[in-house]
């Protein structure tokens, strides 16, 4: 899952980037409203953490322009402004959640996980596909209760497929959502990650739809519906 952070405070921006990366996300950081607007309009993010008091372009204007352009990514507003009128302005501009500075990092991560789950149509904190389980809080996976050791990129691929289970996910979409903007992207590595995941979670859980992409399924449920 790929997150855009728009924050002008360099220390806070770095802290947020590190915390999100440790939680298993690919992260891009924009230091002002203009760059945040551009990235949000041109890159496929799963969610954004958006400060309101930004240089060059205010966060509310950024959000209004995103929504006017049809961008429906979940947005968590992060700001030192705590007056109720400013919160209302943020929500009216299209925000999905609001967190006031100072904040606890764990709360921000929990709110972000909730936004991502709701957007993908999942109600529970843990994502399940048969006996395959991904704990998005701990960034861990298990099969039939047995923990699976995953690399950071393997976890990102599995996490994205779990959020979109049952749907065919094109390889290019996976590339766009597991790497940050500055990463040297190679779509061929996706096949490597998929191969490793199949060895770890079972070869019949990730189907290859030729010419289309990959689909994560519960093999037992798939057999029933055939």
Of 65, 100, 120, which residue sits at a domain end? 120
CATH of the domain at 132: 1.10.10.10
Q: How many domains does the chain have?
A: 2
Q: How far are the Cα atoms of 26, 112, 144, 186 from residue 176, in angstroms, in the given order? A: 10, 19, 30, 10
| Residue 73 and residue 8 share a domain | yes
**Whether 63 contacts 39, CB under 8 Å:** no
| Residue 142 and residue 32 share a domain | no
| Residue 158 and residue 100 share a domain | no
| Residue 74 and residue 147 share a domain | no
Q: Give me the domain span that covers residue 151.
A: 126-225
pLDDT at 102: 87
pLDDT at 89: 80
pLDDT at 223: 59
Of 120, 147, 166, which residue sits at a domain end? 120
pLDDT at 182: 66
pLDDT at 225: 44
CATH of the domain at 61: 3.40.50.2300
For 164-192, how does the pLDDT look when each residue is reduced to its tens digit (9 = 90+)?
998 999 998 999 898 887 666 666 788 89
Q: How far are the Cα atoms of 12, 139, 181 from residue 118, in angstroms, in the given order? A: 26, 18, 25
| Residue 92 and residue 37 share a domain | yes
**Whether 129 contacts 165, CB under 8 Å:** yes
The two structure tokens encoding residue 19: 């915390």
| Residue 115 and residue 22 share a domain | yes
| Residue 51 and residue 14 share a domain | yes
In this prediction, the residues of the chain whose per-residue pLDDT falls under 70 are 81-82, 123, 182-187, 223-226
| Residue 101 and residue 146 share a domain | no
| Residue 79 and residue 56 share a domain | yes
| Residue 53 and residue 36 share a domain | yes
Of 55, 89, 120, which residue sits at a domain end? 120
| Residue 133 and residue 114 share a domain | no
| Residue 165 and residue 215 share a domain | yes
pTM for the predicted model, two decimal places: 0.79
């Amino acid at each position: 899952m790929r997150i855009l952070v728009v924050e002008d405070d360099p220390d806070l921006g770095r802290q947020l980037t590190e915390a999100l990366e440790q939680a298993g996300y690919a992260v891009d950081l924009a230091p002002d409203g203009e760059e945040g607007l551009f990235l949000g309009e041109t890159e496929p993010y799963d969610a954004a953490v958006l400060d309101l008091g930004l240089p060059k372009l205010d966060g509310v204007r950024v959000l209004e322009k995103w929504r006017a352009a049809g961008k429906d990514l979940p947005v968590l507003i992060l700001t030192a402004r705590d007056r109720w009128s400013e919160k209302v302005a943020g929500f009216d501009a299209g925000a999905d959640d609001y967190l006031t500075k100072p904040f606890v990092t764990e709360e921000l991560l929990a709110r972000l996980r909730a936004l991502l789950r709701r957007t993908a149509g999942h109600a529970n904190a843990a994502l399940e596909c048969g006996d395959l389980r991904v704990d998005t809080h701990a960034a861990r996976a298990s099969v039939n209760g047995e923990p699976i050791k995953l690399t950071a990129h393997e976890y990102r691929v599995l996490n994205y497929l779990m959020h979109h289970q049952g749907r065919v996910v094109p390889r290019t979409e996976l590339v766009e959502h597991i790497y940050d903007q500055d990463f040297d992207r190679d779509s061929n590595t996706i096949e490597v990650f998929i191969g490793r995941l199949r060895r770890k979670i079972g070869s019949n859980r990730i189907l290859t739809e030729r010419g289309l992409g990959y689909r994560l399924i519960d093999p037992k449920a798939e057999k029933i519906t055939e």
